[in-house]
Structure 1
Amino acid sequence: MTSSGPLYLGFDLSTQQLKGLVVDSSLKKVQEAKFDFDADSKAFGIQKGVLVNEAEHEVFAPVALWLQAIDTLLGRLKDDGLDFNRVKGISGSGMQHGSVFWNADAEQLLSQLESDKPLQSQLDGAFAHPYSPNWQDASTQKECEEFDAILGDEHQLAYATGSKAHHRFTGPQILRFQRKYPDKYVKTHKITLVSSWIATIFLGKFAPFDISDVCGMNLWDIKAGKWNEKLLELAAGPSGVDALKKKLGDVPEDGGIHLGTVSKYFVRRHGFSEDCTVVASTGDNPSTILALPLRSNDAIVSLGTSTTFLMSTQEYKPDPATHFFNSPTTPGLYMFMLCYKNGGLAREKVRDAINAKAGVSDKNSWTEFDKHLLSTPPLAQEDASKPAHLGLYFPRPEIIPPLPVGEWHYTYDLKADKLSSAQSVLQSPEQDARIIVESQFLSLRLRSRELVSSPGKGLPPQPRRVYMVGGGSRNKAIAKVAGEVLGGSEGVFKLDVGENACALGAAYKAVWAIERAKGETFEELIGKRWREEEFVEKIADGYNAEIWERYGKVLGPFQDMENGLLEEQKHAGKGEQGLV
Structure 2
Amino acid sequence: MSDGPLYLGLDLSTQQLKAIVIQSDLHVVAEAKVSFDEDFGSKYGVEKGVLMNKAEGEVFAPVAMWLESLDLVLNRLKEKNTPLNRIRGISGSCQQHGSVYWSHKASDLLAGLTADKPLVEQLKDAFSYPYGPNWQDHSTQHECDQFDVKLGSPQRLAEVTGSAAHHRFTGPQIMRLRPTSAAWTSGTSLGGDWSEPLLELTAGGADGAAGLRRKLGEVRKDGGGSMGAISRYFVSRYGFSADCQISPFTGDNPATILALPLRPGDAIVSLGTSTTFLMVTPVYKPDPSYHFFNHPTTPGQYMFMLCYKNGALAREKVRDALPGTAQAKTSGDPWAAFNAAALSTPPLDISNPATDRAKLGLYFYLPEIVPNIRAGTWRFTSLPDGTDLREETSSTPWPVETDPRIIVESQALSMRLRSQNLVYPPPDRPQLPAQPRRVYLVGGGSLNPAIARVLGDVLGGAEGVYRLDVGGNACALGGAYKALWSLERSSEAQTFDELIGQRWKEEGAIQRIGDGYREGVFEGYGKILKAFEEMEGRVLEVARNT
Superposition TM-score, scaled by structure 2 size: 0.85
Counterpart of 2:246 in structure 1 is 278
1:446 counterpart = 2:417 = yes
Identify the match of residue 350 of structure 2 among 363, 377, 380.
Answer: 380
Query: In 1, Cα distance between the equivalents of 2:279 and 2:342?
Result: 27
Query: In 1, Cα distance between the equivalents of 2:319 and 2:94?
Result: 35
Shift of 1:217: 1.0
Counterpart of 1:300 in structure 2 is 268
**Structure 2: gaps of 5 or more residues:** none
Deviates more, 1:80-89 or 1:434-443: 434-443
Query: In 2, Cα distance between the equivalents of 1:75 and 1:349?
Result: 35
3-state SS of 1:93 partner:
strand
Counterpart of 1:219 in structure 2 is 190
Shift of 1:243: 1.4
Task: Describe the shift of the 1:71–1:454 C-alpha distance in structure 2 as closer, same or farther (beyond 3 A).
Answer: same
Shift of 1:377: 6.0
Task: Describe the shift of the 1:89–1:347 C-alpha distance in structure 2 as closer, same or farther (beyond 3 A).
Answer: closer
Query: In 2, Cα distance between the equivalents of 1:162 and 1:56?
Result: 27
Deviates more, 1:304-313 or 1:34-43: 34-43
Counterpart of 1:539 in structure 2 is 513
Contact 1:143–1:176 at 8 Å: present in 2 too?
yes
Counterpart of 1:511 in structure 2 is 484
How does 1:80-95 map onto structure 2 within 5 Å? 80-95=80-95
Counterpart of 2:471 in structure 1 is 498
Task: Describe the shift of the 1:539–1:100 C-alpha distance in structure 2 as closer, same or farther (beyond 3 A).
Answer: closer
**Structure 1: gaps of 5 or more residues:** 185-208, 574-580
Task: Describe the shift of the 1:279–1:542 C-alpha distance in structure 2 as closer, same or farther (beyond 3 A).
Answer: same
Query: In 1, Cα distance between the equivalents of 2:312 and 2:63?
Result: 32
Query: In 1, Cα distance between the equivalents of 2:86 and 2:228?
Result: 17
Contact 2:362–2:378 at 8 Å: present in 1 too?
yes
Deviates more, 1:116-125 or 1:320-329: 116-125
3-state SS of 2:67 partner:
helix
- Aligned amino acid, residue 372 of structure 1: S
What's the Cα RMSD here?
3.4
Shift of 1:16: 3.8
Residue by residue over 1:142-193, the C-alpha shift from the partner in whole angstroms, topping out at 9 and shown as x without a partner, is 2222222211233322332222222221111211222113xx4xxxxxxxxx
Report how many residues are paired: 530
Residue by residue over 1:34-84, the C-alpha shift from the partner in whole angstroms, topping out at 9 and shown as x without a partner, is 334455459964424445555544444443433333334333322322222
Task: Describe the shift of the 1:78–1:171 C-alpha distance in structure 2 as closer, same or farther (beyond 3 A).
Answer: same
Contact 2:347–2:521 at 8 Å: present in 1 too?
no
Contact 1:296–1:333 at 8 Å: present in 2 too?
no
Counterpart of 2:133 in structure 1 is 133
1:69 counterpart = 2:69 = yes
Task: Describe the shift of the 1:322–1:130 C-alpha distance in structure 2 as closer, same or farther (beyond 3 A).
Answer: same
Shift of 1:398: 5.5
Counterpart of 1:456 in structure 2 is 427
Task: Describe the shift of the 1:427–1:120 C-alpha distance in structure 2 as closer, same or farther (beyond 3 A).
Answer: closer
How does 1:469-480 map onto structure 2 within 5 Å? 469-470=442-443, 472-480=445-453
Larger Rg: 1
Counterpart of 2:178 in structure 1 is 178
Shift of 1:134: 2.9
Shift of 1:227: 1.0
Counterpart of 2:532 in structure 1 is 558
Deviates more, 1:501-510 or 1:97-106: 97-106
Shift of 1:304: 5.4
Deviates more, 1:228-237 or 1:480-489: 480-489
Contact 2:443–2:471 at 8 Å: present in 1 too?
no
How does 1:255-404 map onto structure 2 within 5 Å? 255-303=223-271, 307-343=275-311, 364-366=336-338, 368-373=340-345, 376=346, 380=350, 382=352, 389-394=358-363, 396=365, 399=368, 400-401=370-371, 402=373
Residue by residue over 1:353-397, the C-alpha shift from the partner in whole angstroms, topping out at 9 and shown as x without a partner, is 8879xxx99984346424533xx36772635x6676242242635
Counterpart of 1:484 in structure 2 is 457
Query: In 1, Cα distance between the equivalents of 2:31 and 2:322?
Result: 41
3-state SS of 1:180 partner:
coil
3-state SS of 1:232 partner:
helix
Query: In 2, Cα distance between the equivalents of 1:155 and 1:47?
Result: 37
Deviates more, 1:89-98 or 1:52-61: 52-61
3-state SS of 1:537 partner:
strand
3-state SS of 2:418 partner:
helix
Contact 2:84–2:241 at 8 Å: present in 1 too?
yes
Task: Describe the shift of the 1:151–1:53 C-alpha distance in structure 2 as closer, same or farther (beyond 3 A).
Answer: same
1:405 counterpart = 2:379 = no
Shift of 1:105: 4.0
